[in-house]
């Protein structure tokens, strides 16, 4: 029989996660906001910054299962899901809750496959088909199944593990959202420092900024070449499993053409011409090594203001022929829509921006890098800081 109080169990769970290599990245997030017991919720809940736990639910959990639940709530916060994906809740709240849980649970499972630190509670939403998917992509898949088949579960059926207080998150003012976002960014950095000290997993792959000592040009080149390496051949004999989940039939690696890439340049007025010119010059230099079949260059503010398409052989002309356009607000969701409307998904997306977006962060469903002129951090993407 467990004689510890509920508060003591939560504190022990926090310490266990902090000391573990897989979950040390959560260190700053665990200390962010309030952690409280609440009798009026069935399991657990977060509003995007604070975390709440039901004592009755805790009584049904082993220590490892409680560790899973605590990690689950804190990863919701770390990925900023309740603010980034607010629009999904407006479309279908239940499907949005399920999509968020599928993403988080797969992350937790993959960080500790041997289940040394955590153990999944019963009947949670966990399905390996969603490994590596972002919340929006999972939502689209579940929503489509719900419309076609009258269901909204993946193959691994179950129920949401917790409650997501989307309404309180939606009620936040833009200033409050920015303050919370900045606090989460700082907490991510704290977790990265601790993870580095104990040899744990770094959170860079979910949004933390890389080491600023490394030149941004090298970071940009490394991202493009590593993402597209091995993609210089493809065959239609075996369709790519990466896209089958979206009902898109594409070849597996084996031919000579690399797919298109999308470059989105923020021309809302916050990015000067020198920065744009330097960024595009690096893109041109990279195409000498990695030769995509097409390059879509988009200038955007609240909408796509200029679209330029370059084919193989014309990339050296880009820097001198391009004509930036724009100067209004900053809403990157127009680039997301452009990518979704493309007949063939791009291999990757590269975005240049200051990160001060009006309508939340876009999700492209493909490897994405944000080149930032500020300390803002995009979720579910690689981030680099441009210093000229």
- Chosen domain end from 144, 166, 199: 199
**Quick one: 42 and 106 in the same domain?**
yes
**Quick one: 10 and 37 in the same domain?**
yes
Looking at residue 213, its pLDDT comes to 41
Does residue 330 fall inside a structural domain? yes
Contact present, 298 and 264 (Cβ < 8 Å): yes
- Chosen domain end from 166, 199, 232: 199
**Quick one: 148 and 117 in the same domain?**
yes
Looking at residue 229, its pLDDT comes to 54
**Quick one: 359 and 297 in the same domain?**
yes
- Chosen domain end from 173, 199, 225: 199
DSSP assignment of 171-229 equals T--HHHHHHHHHHHHHHHHHHHHHHHHTT---GGGGT----TTS-HHHHHHHHHHHHHT
Does residue 205 fall inside a structural domain? no
309 Cβ contact partners less than 8 Å away, ≥ 6 residues apart: 294, 295, 296, 297
> What does the pLDDT average to over 351-362?
88
197-201 contacts: CB < 8 A, separation 24 or more?
198/19, 198/21, 198/24, 199/21, 200/20, 200/21, 200/22, 200/23, 200/24, 200/25, 201/21, 201/22, 201/23, 201/24, 201/25, 201/111
d(CA 27, CA 32): 9
The number of domains in the chain is 2
Q: What is the pTM of this model?
A: 0.55
For 314-328, the pLDDT digits (tens) are 888 887 888 888 777
Does residue 206 fall inside a structural domain? no
**Quick one: 26 and 142 in the same domain?**
yes
**Quick one: 224 and 333 in the same domain?**
yes
Does residue 209 fall inside a structural domain? no
Does residue 39 fall inside a structural domain? yes
Looking at residue 254, its pLDDT comes to 34
Report the CATH number at residue 361. Answer: 3.40.50.410
d(CA 255, CA 211): 35
**Quick one: 72 and 28 in the same domain?**
yes
What's the token pair of residue 312? 């193989």
**Quick one: 255 and 165 in the same domain?**
no
pLDDT at 90 over 50: yes
150 Cβ contact partners less than 8 Å away, ≥ 6 residues apart: none
Residue 359, burial from CB neighbour count under 10 angstroms (0-12, 13-18, 19+): middle
**Quick one: 228 and 323 in the same domain?**
yes
> What does the pLDDT average to over 100-127?
92
For 283-300, the pLDDT digits (tens) are 888 887 778 889 999 999
**Quick one: 188 and 221 in the same domain?**
no
**Quick one: 144 and 267 in the same domain?**
no
pLDDT, the chain, mean: 81
Write out the residue range of the structural domain in which residue 234 sits.
Answer: 216-385
């Amino acid at each position: 029989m467990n004689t510890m109080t509920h508060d003591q169990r939560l504190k022990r769970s926090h310490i266990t996660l902090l000391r573990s290599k897989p979950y040390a990245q959560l260190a700053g997030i665990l200390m962010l906001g309030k952690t409280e017991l609440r009798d009026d919720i069935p399991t657990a809940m977060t509003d995007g910054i604070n975390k709440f736990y039901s004592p009755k639910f805790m009584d049904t959990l082993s220590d490892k299962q409680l560790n899973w639940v605590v990690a689950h709530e804190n990863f919701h916060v770390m990925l900023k899901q309740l603010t980034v994906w607010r629009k999904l809740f407006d479309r279908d709240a239940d499907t949005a809750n399920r999509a968020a849980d599928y993403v988080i649970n797969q992350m937790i499972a993959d960080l500790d496959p041997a289940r040394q630190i955590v153990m999944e509670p019963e009947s949670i939403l966990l399905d390996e088909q969603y490994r590596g998917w972002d919340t929006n992509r999972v939502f689209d898949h579940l929503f489509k199944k719900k419309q076609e088949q009258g269901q909204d579960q993946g193959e691994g059926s179950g129920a949401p593990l917790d409650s997501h207080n989307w309404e309180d998150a939606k009620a936040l003012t833009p200033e409050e959202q920015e303050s919370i976002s900045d606090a989460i960014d700082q907490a991510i950095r704290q977790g990265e420092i601790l993870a580095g000290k104990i040899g744990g997993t770094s959170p860079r792959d979910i949004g933390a900024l890389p080491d600023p000592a490394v030149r941004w040009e090298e970071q940009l080149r490394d991202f493009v070449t590593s993402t597209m390496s091995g993609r210089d051949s493809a065959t239609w004999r075996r369709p790519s499993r990466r896209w089958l989940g979206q009902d898109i039939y594409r070849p597996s690696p084996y031919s000579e053409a690399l797919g298109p890439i999308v470059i989105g340049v923020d021309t809302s007025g916050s990015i000067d011409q020198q920065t744009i010119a330097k960024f595009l010059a690096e893109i041109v230099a990279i195409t000498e090594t990695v030769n995509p079949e097409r390059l879509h260059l988009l200038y955007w503010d609240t909408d796509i203001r200029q679209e330029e398409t370059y084919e193989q052989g014309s990339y050296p002309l880009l820097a001198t022929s391009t004509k930036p356009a724009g100067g209004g607000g900053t809403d990157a969701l127009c680039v997301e829509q452009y990518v979704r409307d493309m007949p063939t998904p791009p291999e990757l997306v590269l975005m240049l921006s200051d990160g001060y977006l009006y309508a939340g962060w876009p999700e492209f469903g493909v490897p994405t890098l944000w080149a930032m002129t500020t300390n803002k951090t995009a979720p579910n993407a690689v981030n680099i800081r441009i210093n000229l």
